[in-house]
Amino acid sequence: MRAYLRRLGWRRALVRAALLVVGLFALAQAVPYGRAHTNPPVLQEPRWDSPRTRALAVRACFDCHSNETKWRWYSNVAPASWLVQRDVDGGRSTLNFSEWNRPQEAGDAVEAVRGGGMPPWYYVILHAHAKLSASEKDALARGLQATFAASPPKGGG
């Protein structure tokens, strides 16, 4: 009998914990941040060194580094929506291929691609198409370097 009561206590605790998690999840949906899914107009793109460089950048970079973000279903569900919005806001403010007529911080982009920092590992988990092979990373890095040299962003980079 004692074991049964002990087991019943664990079940109650587990049910209470599950209800708490569900309640917190529901409450998180009320937070408005993470649902401002806008794609401002494309103002100006760089003069790409080749169509392949642009295609690789679209595949691996444009969701966060352009005004052509594809807002997937989970970008409407907190707390994932908070992370997606933060990444897109940060990506666009640092390097935005759709607003090449404004100052950009393009200098580190080539090294981020070469070093494997871009695209981030957590992005590639849900976007298998963005995973670049070693030769694709090299081609993208070389292409970005040539693009930035031939079409530097306004204000340096």
pLDDT score for 14: 76
First to last CA, the chain: 73
- Cβ 101 vs Cβ 43: under 8 Å: yes
- Angle made by CA atoms 136, 60, 54, in degrees to the nearest 5: 75
Tell me what pLDDT residue 144 has: 96
Cα angle value 125/84/96 (rounded, 5°): 100
Number of H helices, E strands in the chain: 7, 0
- Structure tokens given for 44: 């100006």
> Residue 80 has what pLDDT?
87
Identify the pLDDT of residue 156: 55
For position 8, what pLDDT does the model report? 64
- pLDDT given for residue 88 in this prediction: 96
- Please give the model's pTM, rounded to 2 decimal places: 0.80
State the 10-residue block means of pLDDT for the chain, 157 residues long.
64 79 73 80 96 97 96 90 93 95 89 93 93 96 95 74
Question: Helix axis angle, 51-60 relative to 134-150, nearest 10°?
Answer: 120
Is residue 126 within 8 A of residue 71, CB to CB? The reply is no
- The pLDDT of residue 2 is 64
pLDDT at position 121: 93
Residue 11 buriedness (CB in 10 A; 0-12 / 13-18 / 19+): exposed
Q: Give Cα 92 distance to the centre of its chain.
A: 10
